Amino acid sequence: MRRVLNTLIFTTGGSRSTQPFPAAGEVAIDPVTANVDASSIGVQGHIEVNNSAMVDASGEGGGRVVILGGRLVVEGEGTSVKADTLGAQNGRGIDIELTDGLEVRNAGQVTTSTFGTGKGGDITITAPSILMEGDSFEHTPRIASETFSPVMEGMGGAITFHADSLTLNAAAEISTTTFGPANAGAIDINASTLRLIGSDFALTQISANANPLVGDGGAGGDLVIHADSVEIANGAGLTAITYGSGNAGVIDVLARSLTLLGGGIGVTTGLTGNGGAVRIQADTVTMDQMNGFPSFISAVTFGDGQGGSITLDLAGSLRLLNGSSISANTQGANAGGSINIHARDINLDASSSVQCAAVFDINGQQSSGQAGAIALNADTSVLLNGGSSIRTSAPLNNGGNISVAAGSEIRIADSQITTEAGLNGGEILLAAPELTYLLNSKLTAQADTTGSGFGNGGNLTIDPSFLILNNSALISKSSFGNGGNIGIQTDYFFKSASTIDASAPFGLPGTVSVSAPEVDLSGSLIGLPSNLLGAETQLRSDCGVRLTENISSFVVLGRGGLPLEPGGFVPSWLVPPQDERK
């Protein structure tokens, strides 16, 4: 085992190679599974860098650090492996190849930075297992690439991982950041399993950010993840944030399963930069709460840039539970982003939501932006239950459209689909070939919520074979403008204690068009009598007469207990002849 304790290993613009014997070989990486085959290297040693030790290849040209071994541990406050670029030459970065694993613990650092005009060095790490772990309060372990360059050419270096498992616990951080006009580097993760586990008091994150200290800022980096399984829990998150004029980066997740348990994925933009995108392609996505933290996928615009978009393309199911949300909101003057979801089946339960809205900014001022659009497409079914919602809202602008399509049925129980606007209401379209069922729920395309007199109600269209409204409402109205149109294209329409409203008290009311006869079940059902039936009224007349005379009776039913025919005799037990009993 090789240990680096209280030591500074330093080269100026050169290379630093740390390698325990025997010599290194080549590492094979499966391009499909991302599994690492390091068997060709043989048995490698153990390297520890701790107790404020440094492996440093910084310089005018940006040196290079190469570490080959079995296991590498970088641990402790002030302990680091770094290669900074200080001049005009491009950085050469850090390469780590291990046959066993990497551990970065308790404020240990693996970093590249650029302070000059040269590009920052890249960080490439290949290992079967990678663990980053701090504590619940501080001592953040980091693998990071940063650029402080004053020119656009000094972009930050990229970070690339190849691993079977990558785990971040308790305040751990992987990040690329630009603090100037140059763009931040990208993060590329290839792993079988990726886990981010937060703590109650510290943030665990993988982030690609743009945060200029002065003047215009560069664009945030992209975050790309390829994994079989991704789990984000207990306040941990994937983020792409820009607070300058540059655009936010893109978060791309390609996985078999994505599980958020009190975790989040979000792109954020402030000032004039445009919002980034969240793109998820997976078999299944499950979102639930943990320790009171609901899960979220979000695209937020704080400034004057365009809102970011969210796209989910799933081969299996999407489940949002216990207050989980997918949202694309704007706090600025421009339009919010859109949400597009495709899955085999979609289930929103227990106050979960999908939302595009113009909301209040940090100063309490209502955003004047237009709400984005929402499109949900399920191969089989869409279910909303327990106070869940699909919603667009723009109090000072036009509402966004909502489209919900299912291959078989749409069921909405104790929930709502709404598009509300200060001006024109958005349109709502529900399409399911078999059934659309509303129970204690409502569809609302309401306009002119501010009473300005300029907004018309949005159109509402429903297209199933069976439409059932049970104590529910279809509303497309305007306070002072014209009402919207409600079109019901169905073969069978059943309505009970429900409302259809396309009114406009001070404008032209909308039209309600129904392609099938309406059946009001509340007026068609027959009430049952409250008195109980007497048993004697259901008996044959002769039996009824005997019962009225208070005469007891004894009946032998025999085998089977039923007569051969109505009104017939009951067969008796078979008695064998005397000679057969001998």
pLDDT at residue number 553: 61
Q: What is the pLDDT along the chain (582 residues), one digit of tens a residue?
A: 555 444 444 444 444 455 554 444 444 444 444 454 545 545 568 899 998 999 999 988 767 999 999 999 999 999 999 999 899 889 899 999 999 999 999 999 999 999 989 999 999 999 999 999 998 677 899 999 999 999 988 899 999 999 999 999 989 999 999 898 989 899 999 999 999 999 877 789 999 988 887 767 888 889 999 999 999 999 999 999 888 788 888 999 999 999 999 999 999 887 777 888 999 999 999 999 999 889 999 998 887 778 889 999 999 999 999 999 999 988 777 777 899 999 999 999 999 999 998 776 656 666 677 788 999 999 999 999 999 999 998 887 888 899 999 999 999 999 999 998 878 878 999 999 999 999 999 999 887 665 555 677 789 999 999 999 999 999 988 777 788 899 999 999 999 999 999 988 777 888 999 987 656 656 656 666 767 666 656 555 555 555 555 556 666 555 555 555 666 665 555 555 555 544
Residue 246 placed within a domain: no
pLDDT at residue number 570: 58
Residue 187 placed within a domain: yes
| Structural domain span for residue 214 | 1-221
Q: What is the Cα 393 distance to its own chain's centre?
A: 20
Give strand ranges (E) for 150-263. Answer: 159-169, 173-178, 187-197, 205-210, 223-233, 237-242, 251-261
**Which residue in 445, 505, 450 sits closest to 475, CA to CA?**
445
Which residues share a beta bridge with 188?
160, 224
pLDDT at residue number 538: 59
Which residues share a beta bridge with 345?
317
Residue 78 placed within a domain: yes
Residue 483 placed within a domain: no
Residues whose CB is less than 8 angstroms from the CB of residue 130 and which lie 6 or more positions away in sequence, other chains included: 101, 102, 103, 161, 163, 165, 166, 167
Residue 542 placed within a domain: no
Query: Count of domains in the chain?
Result: 1
**Which residue in 245, 248, 254, 253 sits closest to 221, CA to CA?**
248
Residue 63 placed within a domain: yes
Which residues share a beta bridge with 229?
193, 257
Residue 470 placed within a domain: no
pLDDT at residue number 130: 98
pLDDT at residue number 94: 96
List the structure tokens of 97.
């190849």
Residue 253 placed within a domain: no
pLDDT at residue number 548: 55
pLDDT at residue number 274: 82
Provide Rg for the chain, Cα atoms. 34
Contact 62, 114 (CB under 8 A): yes
